[in-house]
Structure 1
Amino acid sequence: MRLPISMAAAIALTAAVPAYADHHSGSGHASSTIVETAVASPQHETLVAAVKAAKLADTLGGEGPYTVFAPTDAAFDKLPAGTVADLLKPENEGMLRSVLTYHVVPGNVTASQLVGMIQSNGGSAELKTVQGGMLTASLSGDNVILTDASGGTATVVQADLKASNGVIHATNAVSMPG
């Protein structure tokens, strides 16, 4: 059973990251793929470079549907110095692919569906990623929080950026598969 998203949660999920929200004006680019939508975003340049380096652009540009919890450039900037440069090296393609696919969930999970899953499951929802690991979604006040396998947390700062092959939820941290 899907529970409706609270008005406060809906506002919190869609109000953050003003430049990104203005660029995507609510529903995103429903005729663009996830990759095309990310390329158009000024907040996801690092993610786009990583997707290309991991040779995932064709996959994420494919049929889907996918739900992508997309770390912003500021999220990548929070990683220890040198982490992104190391991940982008050709010899680390497998590790980079693992990290990136850990942010992708099969299907089209909107913010209201995710909040409903959390509420109907006693306060958290397990999300199996394309990488094979689990992300745990929960609510902290009106914010959706993702907890990764290492115990790290990421907050959804912009939700429901619709694409032709799924939906993107921008996050303020990079989730790690453990």
Structure 2
Amino acid sequence: MNANQDSSRPALNLADTAATNGTFNIFLQAVDKAGLKEVLSGVGPHTVLAPTDAAFDKLPVGRLDELYQPDNQAELADIINYHVIRGRRTSSELGKWSTARTAHGQEAPISRDGGKVTIDGANITMQDMDSTNGILHGIDKVNIPDSKSNASI
């Protein structure tokens, strides 16, 4: 680090933060297959509620392979966008909301029970991983939107 860098500022973007963590490999593959790499590496800021690899393991057998097919890229993009909120939001900020408007366009319900925050039934299990272009939270479930995309990033 040179003398002009602020050591309190994160040095990694969302993609690098997720990759460095090591528990978001499937999410990163899904982002790539959905054609949304710029969401994690672009300017932002975005709040990403990234399902962990263990969360993807809870999907029905064969579902991820199905989503990875080129004909299903739009559906995969909808799912990824349902895990993104515009702006930089900490878990404590999210816990004050009853819903969050996702980049998909659908509202995701949020609840708080003590210190535990859930979004559409997914528990935030890792929180507030700061990056240069947003903030990353790990969740324990892949959330599936109800409808087609109403918005995009």
The two structures have a TM-score, normalised by structure 1, of: 0.74
Secondary structure in structure 1 of the residue aligned to 2:77: helix
1:70 to 42, 50, 54: 50
- Does residue 144 (structure 1) correspond to residue 117 (structure 2)? The answer is yes
Give the RMSD, CA atoms, in angstroms.
1.2
SS of the residue corresponding to residue 49 of structure 2 reads strand
Matched, 1:88 2:55: no
- What is the percent sequence identity of the aligned residues? 34
Per-residue CA deviations over 1:74-125 (Å, capped at 9, x if unaligned) read 000001001111111111110000000000000000122223x24xxxxxx2
Structure holding more helix per residue: 1
> What displacement does 1:60 show?
2.3
Counterpart-to-counterpart distance in 1, 2:138 and 2:93: 16
| SS of 2:64 mapped into structure 1 | helix
Structure 1, unaligned runs of 5 or more = 1-28, 119-124, 148-152
Mapped to 1, the partners of 2:115 and 2:88 lie a distance apart of 21
Alpha-carbon separation, structure 1, partners of 2:90 and 2:110: 13
What is residue 16 of structure 1 aligned with on the other side? none
Which residue type is aligned with residue 159 of structure 1? Q
Give the residue type in structure 1 aligned to 2:87: G
- The 5 Å alignment of 1:18-57 reads 30-57=10-37
1:132 maps onto 2:95 in alignment: no
Partner of 1:32, secondary structure, is coil
What residue number does 1:105 align with?
85
Partner of 1:132, secondary structure, is coil
Distance in 2 between the 1:155 and 1:96 partners? 21
**What TM-score results when the alignment is normalised by the length of structure 2?**
0.86
1:163 positional shift? 0.7
The runs of at least 4 aligned residues of structure 1 exceeding 6 Å deviation read: none
Offset at residue 169 of structure 1 (A): 0.8
Hey, what does 2:134 align to over in structure 1? 166
1: CA distance between counterparts of 2:88 and 2:114? 24
C-alpha displacement of 1:140: 2.3
Deviations 1:110-164 (A, max 9, x none): 122223x24xxxxxx21000010111111123210112xxxxx100001000010
Judged with a 3 Å threshold, the aligned counterparts in structure 2 of structure 1 residues 161 and 171 are, in CA distance, closer, same or farther, namely same
Pick the aligned partner of 2:41 from 22, 36, 61: 61
C-alpha distance in 1 between matches for 2:65 and 2:59: 11
Structure 2's unaligned 5+ residue stretches are: 1-8, 147-153
